[in-house]
Amino acid sequence: MKDQTQLRVVQAAGPIFADKGFDRATIREICTAAEANLASVNYHFGDKETLYLEAVRHAHALKMEQVPLSQWPSNTPPEEQLRFFIRAMLSRMLGTDELDWGTRLLMREMIEPTIACKSIVEDFIRPQLQLLLSILDEMVPQNISFHRKHQMAFSIVGQCLHYRVAREFVNLLIPEKERAEHFDRNHLVDHITEFSLAAIKNLPIPDSSEKKTS
Amino acid sequence: MKDQTQLRVVQAAGPIFADKGFDRATIREICTAAEANLASVNYHFGDKETLYLEAVRHAHALKMEQVPLSQWPSNTPPEEQLRFFIRAMLSRMLGTDELDWGTRLLMREMIEPTIACKSIVEDFIRPQLQLLLSILDEMVPQNISFHRKHQMAFSIVGQCLHYRVAREFVNLLIPEKERAEHFDRNHLVDHITEFSLAAIKNLPIPDSSEKKTS
DNA sequence: TGGCCTACCAAACAATTGTTTGATACTATT
DNA sequence: AATAGTATCAAACAATTGTTTGGTAGGCCA
C-alpha cells in the first residue's frame, strides 16, 4: 500500500503552518518536508486552505490524546485541583518550543479565527472550561450566578494566557536573571494559584444588586 | 508643496496591515487607499517592510498622544486608581472596531514580534507597567519583592488581555444574551477590579521562604 | 533661461506561489 | 491477462505581488 503520503503531508504541515502562518507557509516547503510531490496537496486535499483545516484538526486531536484533562484522586481538595489545573494549562502554553506547535496554531486561531475556530472551541476549549467551572463550584457559594463563575474562570485563564501571548513582551520587561529565577513554570503556577485563591475566597458576593460602574 | 503622499501612505497602511497582516496586505491595496501611485512605497520607504515599521511607529505615536496614561486627582485612593487603570486598559483593548487598528497591530507584534517590538515595549508598554506598579505600591507591604509586584501586575494585565486575545473564543463560549448583559466593558471593569483587589489584599506575604511547588 | 533635483506616474519586470496537466507505475478486480 | 482506478511525479500554467524603470512635470537656484 502507498506510503501514506496524505498523512505525512498533514503531519509536516502542522509545524510549518504553526510558525510561519498560513501565508508564509508554502505548499512547496510542506511537500518537501513531507517528502511528497508538489501536487499531492491538491490531489489529496483539494487546496491549501483545506489542508490547513485538516492540519489544525490533526494538531487538535493530538493534543486531546496526549493531555488528558483531569487526573487527580477524587478526594483531592479543590484548592489542589485548581493548582493542578493551572499547572496543566501553563504547561500546555509554555511548552518547550519543540512540540508546542499545536499551541501556536491555537494562538493564531485566536487572533485570526478561521473556520477551524468553532470546532476547536467546542471540542477542546469548552471541556477545559467546564472542568475549571466544576472546580470553582466546590469553592464558591452555591447560589452564585452563571456569569460570575465564568468571569472568575476567565480571570484565571487570562493570567495563564498572558505568559504565552505576551511572552516576548515579558522577556523584554523582565531582566534575564530575574526571569530565570522567579518566572519559571513552577513559580508562575504558585503565584497564579495563590493569587486566584485569594481572590476567589475574598470576593464580595453581591449577585443581585448592580455594582458601581464609575 | 507636494500633496504629502508619504504621509497618506503611512496612514492608509496602518489599518490595512492591522486587519490583514503583513503578508495579506498588498502594496497595491495600500496605495489605492492612499490615492498614491504604486511606486510611491518603494520610492518613499524603500520596501514593504520599512513601510510596515513606519506604520507601526505611526500607530504607536497616535496611541500615545490620544490616550494619556493617568489622569485622576492626586488624592484618589489607590483602589480607585486601580479601577481607572483597568478601565483605561480595557477600553484600549475593546475599542470599537473603527479605530482600534492600533491595538490590532500591537496584538500581531505580540504573537509574531518584529523589529518594531522592542521600541513598542520601551515607549508604550513599560510606562504603563510602571504606572500600574506605582498603584500597587500603595496597596502592598513596602518590603514586598520586585518579582512579586510584577507577577501581580501581570495577573491584572492578563485578565484584561484575555478579553481581547480570546475574544472570539469568549463569543463562542458565552451565549449572546448573557454576553450583552454581563460581559460588557463596565461589568468587566468591575469584575476584574474586584477580583484583583480581593487577591492583592489577601495574598499571603511569604517573600523569603520558598513555596511549595507540587 | 537652463540645469538640477524631487515627487510622481504608467508600464514593465522578475520572482514566487497555488494550481493544473498529462503521463507513468502500481494495485485490485473481472 | 486485460481493465479500471488510484497514487505519484515532473513539468507547465496562470495569477499575484514586490520591485524597478524610464519618463514627465514642476519647483528652486544660479
CATH fold for the domain made of A68-202: Tetracycline Repressor; domain 2 (1.10.357)
In angstroms, the CA of B1 and the C1' of D29 are apart by 17
Give the pLDDT confidence score for residue A97 in this predicted structure: 60
Question: Which residues of chain B (1-20) touch nucleic strand C at CB < 7 A?
Answer: 2-6
A135 or B94, which is more confident: A135
Residue A204 has pLDDT above 90, yes or no: no
Least confident of A158-162, A202-206, B162-166: A202-206
Residue B210 has pLDDT above 60, yes or no: no
Q: Which of A85-90's residues contact partners 24+ apart within 8 Å by CB, and which partners?
A: A85/A131, A85/A132, A85/A135, A86/A156, A86/A160, A86/A189, A86/A192, A86/A193, A86/A196, A87/A185, A87/A189, A87/B214, A89/A128, A89/A157, A89/A160, A90/A160, A90/A163, A90/A185, A90/A188, A90/A189, A90/A192
Contact status of A174 with chain B (Cβ, < 8 Å): yes
Domains of chain B, residue spans: 5-63, 68-202
Give the pLDDT confidence score for residue A214 in this predicted structure: 44
Give the pLDDT confidence score for residue B103 in this predicted structure: 86
Class of domain A5-63: mainly alpha
Residue B207 has pLDDT above 80, yes or no: no
Question: Where on strand C do bases come within 7 A of a protein Cβ?
Answer: 7-12, 16-22, 27-28
Nearest residue, CB atoms, A23 vs list B24, B198, B204: B24
Give the pLDDT confidence score for residue B66 in this predicted structure: 74
Least confident of A65-69, A82-86, A120-124, A176-180: A65-69
Give the pLDDT confidence score for residue B96 in this predicted structure: 65
B142 or B155, which is more confident: B155
